[in-house]
Amino acid sequence: MVEAWRETGYDVEVISATDQRYSPPPDAFALIDIHSNLERWQNHPAPVKILHATGAHWLTQNRAELERLESLRDRRGVSLIPRRIAPPCRGAETADMITYLGNDFTSGSFRFAQKPMRRIPLSSAYEFAFPEDKDWEAARRNFLWMGSFGMVHKGLDLVLEAFAATPDLHLTVCGRPEKEADFFEAYRRELTSLPNIHLAGWTDPASPEFQTLRKSHGFAIYPSCSEGGGGSLIHCMHAGLVPVATREASVDLGEAGLLILEGSVPEVVRSIQEAASLDPTVLKDRAAETWKQVRANHTLANFKIRYAEFVLNLCQVHSTT
């Protein structure tokens, strides 16, 4: 992003998004923020103020997480701490325009602001060769969940309950659920005792361990309730895994992926059973289609091209006004 602006002749200053003291120079052309700094800068004379949306609108995100926590409470009789609550802000209202990384789920959460929006597809830090030599018959029964913090937000509770109910299918969890003590205690049995659920821990996609997993698994499952363009799922798609995800994961599944229609355990069970029933040849074809899709859209090179196009167009518009 910085390079795109510099290549058009601008100097760029970069600050932490949490810096609440910085003031832009009075001759700044564009102010870009990911959350709430635009409110502090709303009286600045810069002609362009851009919200770079890395997630859904805070009301959409917070409501979604609380609804998931409420549903878990009613299923399991335990109330867990919310982990992904975003503070309120008026970034969308203050901005002149919005760039976003996800798909229509993310953009739809900002439509109320009636600002011009431009999608810059999320990039991936990793690219892999397609796993031609995978045992697709075995892989169709193996699913991988990969995520950072916010286990309920990202649907791990639903996934664990679904695989506990389908012992003939296997799940590998790549993450650190033990970092969320209340969640880990509520799902200790599923995470530590069931033979078809395997806790791999935090797994770097560049590691040999992930290379082994991507060659033995057929699917990446990700029933998140709100994303700005689920990066972990895109990484898995680059690795040749077929996505099984909710619309709220904000990743284009294409014809090859499988859509989880709602954030419920029965729906996740239905989705994984449908996925596991695919013919191995069909699974390989879908994996190849998924891999081609992310290679065409979700790379650092494509992000740079698309963002540079956005910056150039913006500068041209303002040079004529």
Residues 139-148: tens digit of each pLDDT: 999 999 999 9
Helix (H) or strand (E) holding 100: strand 97-100
Q: Minimal CA–CA distance to 146: which of 259, 216, 236, 246?
A: 236
Residue ranges in 118-178 assigned as alpha helix (H): 136-139, 156-164
User: Residue 321 pLDDT more than 60?
Assistant: no
User: Residue 204 pLDDT more than 80?
Assistant: yes
The side-by-side arrangement of strands in the sheet containing 242-246 is: 197-199, 170-174, 142-146, 219-222, 242-246, 258-260
Mean pLDDT over all residues of the chain? Answer: 96
Phi, psi angle pair for 130, to nearest 5°: -70, 135
Q: Minimal CA–CA distance to 75: which of 266, 276, 221?
A: 266
193, amino acid identity: S
* Domains contained in the chain, CATH given: 2-122+299-319 (no CATH), 136-297 (3.40.50.2000)
Which token pair is 69? 């926590």
Phi, psi angle pair for 5, to nearest 5°: -70, -40
256 vs 7, 30, 221, 228, 241, CA distance in Å?
A: 38, 39, 14, 21, 10
Query: What is the pLDDT confidence band of residue 320, given thresholds at 50, 70 and 90?
Result: low
252 vs 66, 248, 249, CA distance in Å?
A: 25, 10, 9
Query: What is the pLDDT confidence band of residue 317, given thresholds at 50, 70 and 90?
Result: confident
Contacts 24+ apart (CB under 8 A), 132-136: 133/215, 134/215, 134/216, 134/218, 134/240, 134/284, 134/287, 135/216, 136/218, 136/280, 136/281, 136/283, 136/284, 136/287
Helix (H) or strand (E) holding 242: strand 242-246
Contacts of residue 132, defined as CB under 8 A and 6 or more positions apart, other chains included, come to none
Predicted model pTM: 0.96
